């Protein structure tokens, strides 16, 4: 049986050129990054410029108070993929005992008790210092201009603000002041400004104005972020009690000392070889190795079982993902994770043998010698007592991917990929610090993130809340290498779905021969038969979400096999973008997601 031929029609072309390519989740970030390439900057200068623009133009999906992870390779050392670690840890005061004493059963999805130490800004600055070439002032000029002069706001930003408007006006007045200027929700195309954040960026530039070298100027900005006015303003503001997603009021525990204690860093990527390609991901403090485990399971099947567009392929992929993500819950965290065993062929074969012709509705982590798998609370629905009976407009901010406790208004993250003419390639996924994460800090123009909701208050989990430990993030960019050369930078928003959607791209391009844009446009699906990483941390046993374009025959077959199928619509799933490079010819390519009419690629 052959792989399904891709549709010859695509929503846009796969871009091709030899100079440089950028793809991201917002056209203004793409345009800004590409402008840097056009002016002689490299891929890292461009990615940082685009990353700070994303703070401004997608504030409902990321912010300076959030997190960022990236995976990249340099032209000087192309065979060595590196992870940029921009995931902050739990503050020193974030003990499970404190949260339980506050009457909480889960870490809230919104409010300062959900805040890890903000890490995105320090990570971007570190990347610029070590691998960029531009001055900080020039890189930040794009974001400063959009923040101070304003930009036409997305309709989705307004929709998010509208969904939390009652929360803002009743409980988070500083958020209402920033995001509802004049007391009203901004409409699509309205000019939205954030002068406070423009001032923050300008002060970071000024902090290094007296230093002698470019690196020292960036170091001064990093020190000002971690130990200066930003840390003090954030900690002082978060100490006041405010409404959380639990429906109750609490004070945050983050302090200026927590800011000062954290620095972003570089780590070796974790890799797995699949069909002649090397896939590079973060270590198991993120969910990235779950994609590698899924590939290890699927590697033992013939190509016809790896086609997401067929009934057997879709079923096999969903079942493999359930097994890999069950291991994510059982073993992953900021701890000693037995990845060598979890990625071994012996273990993959054991897991592969569990896949039958029918859908599993069980939580099935594997057995690792010397380890006890953590089994999380398996809730099919959850509403805290404080929210029972509350109207849908009475609370919001439950994190990614939901905003309302009842599930309305789903959101995403952000992503940016860049490749330059020299062969530098980077894939970065910034997220957290959404405008709905916690009250806006008026002196800074942004709020703290909510990544600690990915930790458990139960004892014994590798991701149990613990001071100084990183929450097991869902941020999971991808770099693909062939013959020791980076050939694809890829990523997607989507929380627990990020790697599931990226898997479809990898299978369709590596096995199916799809072009980048064909793979991005192709019908998507994912499993929800996993414990969610975000508050309220529920799951749907046997759940599978599909785009209707997958086809009636495929959907009917999945249902007959026992999958609890939810139809999402024709163009609803997946937020992929990518850049591609051929080491043999130097030809560069790029593609971006058409869903939502927001992502864009550019290049020449």
pLDDT value at residue 406: 32
Handedness of CA 305, 310, 312, 315 (dihedral sign): positive
pLDDT value at residue 569: 95
User: By C-alpha distance, which of 261, 325, 368 is closest to 530?
Assistant: 325
pLDDT value at residue 165: 95
Q: What pTM does this model have? A: 0.95
Q: What is the mean pLDDT of residues 475-493?
A: 97
pLDDT value at residue 1: 59
pLDDT value at residue 283: 98
- Residue pair 331/462 in contact (Cβ under 8 Å)? The answer is yes
pLDDT value at residue 301: 97
Residues 109-166 pLDDT 10s: 999 999 999 999 999 999 999 999 999 999 999 999 999 999 999 999 999 999 999 9
Residue recorded with tokens 């690196």 = 215
Higher-confidence residue of 18 and 386: namely 18
Distance CA 79, CA 271 (A): 12
Instruction: Measure CA 513 to chain center.
Output: 27
Q: Decide: residue 380, CB within 10 A, 0-12 exposed, 13-18 middle, 19+ buried.
A: exposed
Q: What is the mean pLDDT of residues 174-203?
A: 97
List the structure tokens of 246.
């639990």
Position 410 confidence tier, pLDDT thresholds 50, 70, 90:
very low
Residue 398 pLDDT > 90, yes or no? no
Strand ranges in 492-568 using DSSP code E only, listed in sequence order: 525-527, 543-546, 564-567
**Percentage of the chain exceeding pLDDT 90:** 91
Position 383 confidence tier, pLDDT thresholds 50, 70, 90:
low
Position 8 confidence tier, pLDDT thresholds 50, 70, 90:
confident
List the structure tokens of 331.
């073993």
List the structure tokens of 257.
């000392």
DSSP string, 38-64: HTT--HHHHHHHHHHHHHHH-TTTB-T
pLDDT value at residue 312: 97
Q: What is the mean pLDDT of residues 326-334?
A: 96
Higher-confidence residue of 411 and 16: namely 16
Residue 405 pLDDT > 60, yes or no? no
pLDDT value at residue 384: 65
Residues 263-280 pLDDT 10s: 999 999 999 999 999 999
Distance CA 342, CA 362 (A): 20
Residues 196-235 pLDDT 10s: 999 999 999 999 999 999 999 999 999 999 999 999 999 9
3-state DSSP of 334-387: CCCCCHHHHCCHHHHHHHHCCCCCCCCCCCCCCCCCCCCCCCCCCECCCCCHHH
Burial code (b: 16+ CB inside 10 Å, e: under 16) for 208-217 equals beeeeebeeb
Q: What is the mean pLDDT of residues 184-189?
A: 96
List the structure tokens of 452.
């600690």
């Amino acid at each position: 049986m052959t792989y399904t031929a891709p549709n010859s029609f695509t929503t846009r072309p796969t871009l091709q050129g030899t100079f440089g390519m950028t793809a991201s989740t917002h056209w203004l970030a793409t345009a800004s990054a590409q402008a840097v390439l056009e002016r002689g900057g490299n891929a890292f200068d461009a990615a940082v410029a685009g990353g700070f623009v994303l703070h401004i133009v997608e504030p409902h999906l990321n912010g300076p108070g959030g997190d960022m992870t990236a995976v990249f390779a340099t032209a000087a050392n192309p065979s060595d993929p590196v992870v940029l670690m921009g995931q902050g840890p739990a503050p020193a005061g974030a003990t499970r005992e404190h949260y339980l004493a506050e009457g909480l059963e889960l870490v809230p999805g919104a409010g300062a008790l959900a805040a890890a130490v903000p890490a995105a800004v320090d990570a971007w600055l570190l990347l610029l210092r070590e691998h960029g070439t531009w001055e900080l002032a020039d890189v930040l000029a794009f974001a400063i201009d959009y923040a101070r002069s304003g930009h036409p706001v997305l309709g989705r930003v307004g929709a998010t603000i509208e969904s939390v408007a009652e929360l803002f006006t009743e409980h988070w007045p500083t958020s209402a002041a920033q995001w509802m200027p004049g007391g009203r929700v901004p409409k699509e195309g309205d000019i939205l400004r954030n002068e406070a954040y423009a001032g923050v960026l300008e002060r970071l530039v000024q902090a290094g104005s007296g230093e002698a070298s470019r690196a020292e100027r960036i170091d001064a900005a990093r020190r000002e972020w971690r130990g200066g006015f930003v840390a003090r303003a954030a900690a002082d503001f978060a100490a006041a009690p405010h409404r959380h997603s639990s429906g109750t009021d609490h004070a945050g525990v983050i302090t200026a000392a927590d800011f000062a204690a954290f620095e972003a860093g570089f780590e070796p990527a974790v890799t797995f070889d699949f069909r002649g390609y090397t896939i590079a991901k973060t270590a198991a403090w993120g969910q990235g190795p779950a994609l590698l485990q899924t590939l290890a399971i699927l590697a033992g099947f013939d190509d016809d079982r790896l086609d997401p567009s067929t009934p057997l392929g879709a079923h096999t992929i969903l079942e493999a993902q359930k097994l890999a993500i069950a291991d994510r819950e059982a073993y992953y965290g900021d701890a000693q994770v037995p990845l060598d065993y979890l990625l071994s062929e012996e273990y993959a074969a054991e897991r592969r043998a569990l896949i039958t012709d029918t859908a599993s509705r069980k939580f099935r982590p594997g057995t690792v010698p010397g380890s006890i798998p953590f089994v999380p609370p398996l809730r099919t629905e959850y509403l805290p007592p404080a929210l029972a009976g509350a109207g849908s407009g009475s609370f919001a901010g439950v994190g990614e991917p939901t905003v309302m406790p009842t599930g309305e208004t789903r959101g995403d993250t952000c992503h940016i990929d860049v490749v330059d003419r020299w062969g530098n390639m980077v894939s970065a996924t910034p997220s957290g610090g959404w405008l709905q994460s916690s009250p806006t800090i008026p002196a800074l123009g942004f709020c703290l993130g909510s990544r600690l909701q990915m930790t458990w208050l139960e004892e014994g989990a590798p991701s149990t809340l613990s001071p100084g430990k990183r929450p097991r993030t869902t941020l999971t960019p991808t770099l693909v290498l062939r013959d020791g050369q980076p050939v694809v930078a890829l990523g997607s928003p989507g929380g627990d779905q990020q790697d599931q959607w990226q898997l479809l791209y990898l299978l369709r391009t590596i096995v199916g021969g799809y072009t980048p844009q064909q793979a991005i446009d192709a019908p998507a699906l994912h499993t929800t038969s996993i414990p969610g990483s975000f508050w309220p941390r529920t799951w749907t046993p046997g759940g599978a979400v599909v785009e209707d374009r997958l086809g009636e025959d495929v959907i009917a077959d999945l249902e007959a096999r026992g999958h609890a199928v939810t139809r999402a619509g024709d163009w609803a799933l997946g937020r992929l973008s990518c850049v591609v490079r051929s080491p043999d010819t130097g030809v560069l390519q790029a593609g971006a997601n058409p869903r939502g009419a927001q992502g864009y690629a550019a290049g020449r």
